[in-house]
Chains A and B, each alone.
Chain A
Amino acid sequence: MIKKTIFYFILIVSAIVFTYPFLWMFLASISPDKAIGNLVLLPSQVTLDNYRQMIAKIPIWRALLNSVIVSGLITTGVLVFGSMIGYALARLEFKGRNLIFYLIIFTMTIPFQITLIPQYILMVKLNWTDTYYALIVPYLINALGIIMFRQYFLSLPQSLIDAARIDGCGELRIIFRIIWPNSVPVILTVAILTFMTSWNEVLWPLIVIRKESLMTLPQLVTLFVVGGRAESQLGVKLASSVFLATPIVIAYAFFQKYFINSMVSTGQKE
């Protein structure tokens, strides 16, 4: 009994440690600037002024839209291409299949640091800096996504595919009409993982996007906080930070199980 109490105590303290900072940030963002210094639990005064100022200062809605577009298209691409390639690798026999499989594994081990600068130069040469292309195209195919699809498709019964072939389905139709409905868990996992990673990506946008109207949310917030336009108003900076965190937290509240599963599956890949 004592042991259990101690355990609960530890767990509750840890839960506070992991969540209270977010709560503080949220409360600070709705407090007037001069009250933030003394804020611990309850704000002495509630105001939306920080949010109003933030919206007036930076095109944050536009950045939100950009992030949705970019992450949405990347996720779609990863799902479509990933399942096509994963299917070919898992279910079709052709020369060079193993070679391609090992190539994919190999690309996963290349650190992105090595390709960062030449990829930027590539974007410059393609005239893609300051376009959505630069943000989206390099991420449309993702090695991890392919591998996850392949692993999952390997476990599907062959009879499913054979039946479809007898009905005269083409391979694309098999993938999207027969395989997809039977692969919801892996699709959700890959989708959440891809969406989250691209949503939180900040280094690449910092490099290829300079036009304010094309900036993604994390990029705009980073530059807003580091740069001078917040006019040293702490509350406004924190408001932008809350704004950045909120969409993912809301999604997490709904798809908690899938979030956790997808992150775990990246772990087990290694």
Chain B
Amino acid sequence: MRKIKKILSAILLLSLTFCTGGNSKRNYLTYWSSNNTYEIEFARKMVAEWNAAHPNEKVKFQPVPEGQSSEEVVLAAIVGKTTPDIYSNMWQGDVEAYAKAKILVALDTLKGFKDFIYSRCDSSTIKEVTAADGHIYQVPWKVNPIMMIYNKKLLDGIGFKNPPTTYKEFFTAAERFQKQNLVNGRVTKWFGYAEILPTWWQRLFDFYPLYLAESGGMPLVKNNKAVFNNKYALRVFNFLRTLYVHDYFPKERLSARQDVFLSSVIATRFTGPWDIAHTEKFKPKGFKYDFAPLPTSGKKSELPITYCDPKNIVIFNTCKNPQAAWEFIKFYLSEKNELKFLEITNQLPRRKDLLSNPLFEDYFNKNPMMKKFARQTLHIKGIDQALYLKEVFDIISQAYEESVVYRVRTPKAALDDAEKQVNLLYSK
């Protein structure tokens, strides 16, 4: 009997030591970054540097616990009251709703915030991040404009010294590429690839940037009404549909295989600057690649607008010491550290002096590809200021799957239906 008691109490003790409740007192700040490998590296360095200098206000860091998307995880953390103090991968589309639910700290109430933000950002960016109640709940941190990555050798091989810029050129290139790579009449390589999963945020990386490029940055939703059912969306749908009709884009989920761009199975892909570091790390010998603006239906005199995937920094109201958190953020975003951020992660800080500040000049001269992205930041758009954006993208995603990938409906019918559903969503 005594033995049993011993065992039971041992178990209890064990479980108590291992289980740390959510209420324990702590004198450090917690910080979540995105789970991009290079960003983790950057964050580790920054946090170590900060902790060495501020032993009394230490920061504990971890990448956002992965889910299908980081948004899902953050929402869950809010629900479970396990949010970190600082989170640096906040999707702009969520902030308005979070601000309304009063779970974010209004940063403009903190000392030194206003001076900082006005010296860092231009007025249009500040306007973009200001909430409906006039407060600012997020620091615009970084952008990753979506462009087209292409395999130089493969494009050279089909006589394209420059990548295609119009839909027509894109089709020509795709057709040539396909013919050249037939094996016993079978398609073995594809001109491009877009992830075919029906998850809503996948459309942020194919349909949405192409739509912005084609329409010159028109919104999807305005004043609680769907405005995306227009000729631009139709053109984008038809463009993508044609790519699937001719098997220029594969219907298979290639992301389950090894990296298909690096193994030259596909020639192009729509992606952001984060791919540079990845490509440099894993590319085979002699692999050459570059980036180009997104294709549009006709020639454009200037760069087409693209989606910039803005990610911002917020402080959750579970934070006991917001001013200290803000000091950490200020340290994180100091000029010197932003240069390091550029160098380590190849993502772009959202600051107005990106191309004019001599501090960054050297970096961009050494990294001509990043300069392309920096130039593209003059032609970018984030996301509409509206509620229910996930549901909207989900509805568009269904229409996309039906009419673009599997072609069980026409693009027109699918878009008409999507418009109706979105309007129904807002009318409730």
10 A-B pairs with the lowest CB-CB distances in the bound complex, closest first = A129-B80, A227-B66, A232-B259, A234-B258, A223-B66, A210-B65, A132-B19, A127-B22, A130-B82, A33-B258
**Residues of B with C-beta under 8 A to A170:** 1
Asked if B36 and A127 sit within 8 Å, CB to CB, the answer is no
Asked if B35 and A228 sit within 8 Å, CB to CB, the answer is yes
Question: Shortest Cβ distance from A83 into chain B, in angstroms?
Answer: 11
Q: How far is B63's CA from A215's CA once the two chains are assembled, in angstroms?
A: 14
Q: How far is B14's CA from A205's CA once the two chains are assembled, in angstroms?
A: 20
Question: Shortest Cβ distance from B136 into chain A, in angstroms?
Answer: 27
Which of B71-79, B243-251, B288-296 is the contact stretch? B71-79
Asked if B4 and A172 sit within 8 Å, CB to CB, the answer is yes
**Residues of A with C-beta under 8 A to B124:** none
Question: Shortest Cβ distance from B187 into chain A, in angstroms?
Answer: 16
The chain A residue with its CB closest to the CB of B36 is: A228
**Residues of B with C-beta under 8 A to A176:** 1, 4
Asked if A231 and B278 sit within 8 Å, CB to CB, the answer is yes
Question: Shortest Cβ distance from B185 into chain A, in angstroms?
Answer: 21
Scoring B residues 189 to 209 as 1 if CB is less than 8 Å from chain A, else 0, what string do you get? Answer: 000000000000000000000
Q: How far is B401's CA from A59's CA once the two chains are assembled, in angstroms?
A: 36
Among residues 47 to 70 in chain B, which have CB atoms less than 8 Å away from a CB atom of chain A?
62-63, 65-68
A211 in contact (CB, < 8 A): yes
Asked if B258 and A124 sit within 8 Å, CB to CB, the answer is no
The chain A residue with its CB closest to the CB of B258 is: A234
A156 in contact (CB, < 8 A): no
Question: Shortest Cβ distance from B372 into chain A, in angstroms?
Answer: 23
Asked if A34 and B11 sit within 8 Å, CB to CB, the answer is no
**Residues of B with C-beta under 8 A to A16:** none
**Chain B interface, >50% SS class:** loop
Question: Shortest Cβ distance from A143 into chain B, in angstroms?
Answer: 22
**Residues of B with C-beta under 8 A to A215:** 65
Q: How far is B20's CA from A63's CA once the two chains are assembled, in angstroms?
A: 16
A80 in contact (CB, < 8 A): yes
**Residues of A with C-beta under 8 A to B21:** 127, 131
Instruction: Using A34-B258, A212-B63, A231-B37 as known contacts, say yes or no to A80 and B8 having CB atoms under 8 A apart.
Output: yes
Q: How far is B18's CA from A206's CA once the two chains are assembled, in angstroms?
A: 19
**Residues of B with C-beta under 8 A to A224:** 66
The chain A residue with its CB closest to the CB of B278 is: A231
On chain A, the number of residues with a Cβ less than 8 Å from chain B's Cβ atoms is 42
The chain A residue with its CB closest to the CB of B274 is: A228
Scoring B residues 249 to 274 as 1 if CB is less than 8 Å from chain A, else 0, what string do you get? Answer: 00000011111000100000000000
A97 in contact (CB, < 8 A): no
Among residues 122 to 143 in chain A, which have CB atoms less than 8 Å away from a CB atom of chain B?
123-124, 127, 129-133, 136
B420 in contact (CB, < 8 A): no
Asked if B35 and A76 sit within 8 Å, CB to CB, the answer is no
B23 in contact (CB, < 8 A): yes
Q: How far is B20's CA from A215's CA once the two chains are assembled, in angstroms?
A: 14
Question: Shortest Cβ distance from B411 into chain A, in angstroms?
Answer: 30
Asked if A212 and B19 sit within 8 Å, CB to CB, the answer is no
B427 in contact (CB, < 8 A): no
Asked if B23 and A127 sit within 8 Å, CB to CB, the answer is yes
Asked if A227 and B35 sit within 8 Å, CB to CB, the answer is yes
Q: How far is B76's CA from A123's CA once the two chains are assembled, in angstroms?
A: 12
Identify which of B35, B37, B263 contacts A34 (C-beta below 8 A): B263
**Residues of A with C-beta under 8 A to B278:** 231
A177, A229, A233: residue with the most chain B Cβ atoms closer than 10 Å: A229
B: residues with CB less than 8 A from A are: 1, 4, 8, 11, 14-15, 18-23, 35-37, 62-63, 65-68, 73, 76-77, 79-82, 255-259, 263, 278, 282, 284
A118 in contact (CB, < 8 A): no
**Residues of A with C-beta under 8 A to B11:** 73, 76
Instruction: Using A36-B258, A76-B11 as known contacts, say yes or no to A210 and B76 having CB atoms under 8 A apart.
Output: yes
Asked if A229 and B37 sit within 8 Å, CB to CB, the answer is yes
**Residues of A with C-beta under 8 A to B80:** 123-124, 129-130, 208, 210
**Residues of A with C-beta under 8 A to B23:** 127
**5 A-B pairs whose Cβ atoms sit less than 8 Å apart in the complex:** A124-B79, A127-B22, A130-B82, A227-B66, A231-B259
Asked if B1 and A172 sit within 8 Å, CB to CB, the answer is yes
A250 in contact (CB, < 8 A): no
Among residues 211 to 270 in chain A, which have CB atoms less than 8 Å away from a CB atom of chain B?
211-213, 215, 223-224, 226-229, 231-235
Scoring A residues 90 to 131 as 1 if CB is less than 8 Å from chain B, else 0, what string do you get? Answer: 000000000000000000000000000000000110010111
Q: How far is B258's CA from A212's CA once the two chains are assembled, in angstroms?
A: 25
A21 in contact (CB, < 8 A): no
B37, B62, B80, B284: residue with the most chain A Cβ atoms closer than 10 Å: B80
The chain A residue with its CB closest to the CB of B256 is: A234
Q: How far is B81's CA from A210's CA once the two chains are assembled, in angstroms?
A: 11
A37 in contact (CB, < 8 A): yes
Among residues 171 to 222 in chain A, which have CB atoms less than 8 Å away from a CB atom of chain B?
172-173, 176-177, 206, 208-213, 215
B66, B76, B81: residue with the most chain A Cβ atoms closer than 10 Å: B66
The chain B residue with its CB closest to the CB of A212 is: B65
A11 in contact (CB, < 8 A): no
Asked if B258 and A226 sit within 8 Å, CB to CB, the answer is no
**Residues of B with C-beta under 8 A to A132:** 15, 18-19
Q: How far is B78's CA from A129's CA once the two chains are assembled, in angstroms?
A: 11
The chain A residue with its CB closest to the CB of B259 is: A232
**Residues of B with C-beta under 8 A to A211:** 62, 65, 82
